[in-house]
Structure 1
């Protein structure tokens, strides 16, 4: 039996918002309920509100930065794939997410990245389009299909349930199917020929 092929894929879900009063946990809880239905993923959560990284990069991080990195870097390194759950702030993505990306490099390489975004009328899609360029620089592969919540606050009832889950549930399945295909293909490829980015 080929263990590479049968072992669950490690999926790191990055909750990008660290803003006071953030809506991210509501969206994250819904998305994690979708991943819980799948046997092909083992999920880890990186919540940037709980693990703040400094924006000043350093080759010799101090104790606080080192502690934050020690909490997130091993999770990213062990992941076969990522889903970035991001809001849109001022037509872009949060500084907390850029800091996470910039503190790492090899952890992202030759792995697929999917996006769940939320916001106002644009639903976070402008943030996602910018992130595609950023992750290309990290040698990551972004999947085409995303999950996007336009006017997100109006779509979730009190308690966090979606008022009309059919569309988002279907979009999440499509995206996760694409991530699973890429993650498995890239994981198998790296066992034959390590990625030299």
Structure 2
């Protein structure tokens, strides 16, 4: 009798953990709403949206990321950057300047050059890019094959955890079309 009660309790706990562990976590930190400044160029309904907040933001700026697709600039803030425990890779992410529902997640691996000291001029193709859309069923852009995507870490300062780099390459849109990202930039300090 007691064994059956324990089995029921254990089963209930496992179901609770299984269902809550698989739920998507949405984090939101309050900030003032962004103005509705996304417009589509006149006469071209297939063109990507132009974000007024990203005009002129394609330069290196602290705690920011940016990249271009054609002549359209995508940009945003770096919310956080995290080094893995071995310091052979890192991920940074943050929302777009144009919509809190879109943003960038970029994971970069440097297995032969761990970030355990100051580094300059590191190049790797081992990476994964995701430009997400929380409202849609698929990512806006995602890298599927890292051999067509290059990361160049210009400088990493171990003492301050400062990093600056750039990226470019081929990613894929939600329909599976190849899209070229160019002039990608990031600059931040790891938390």
The structure with the largest helix share of the pair is: 1
On whether the aligned pair clears a TM of 0.5, the verdict is no
Between 1 and 2, higher relative CO (CA 8 Å, sep ≥ 6) is seen in 1
TM-score norm. by structure 1 comes to 0.28
The structure with the largest strand share of the pair is: 2
TM-score norm. by structure 2 comes to 0.29
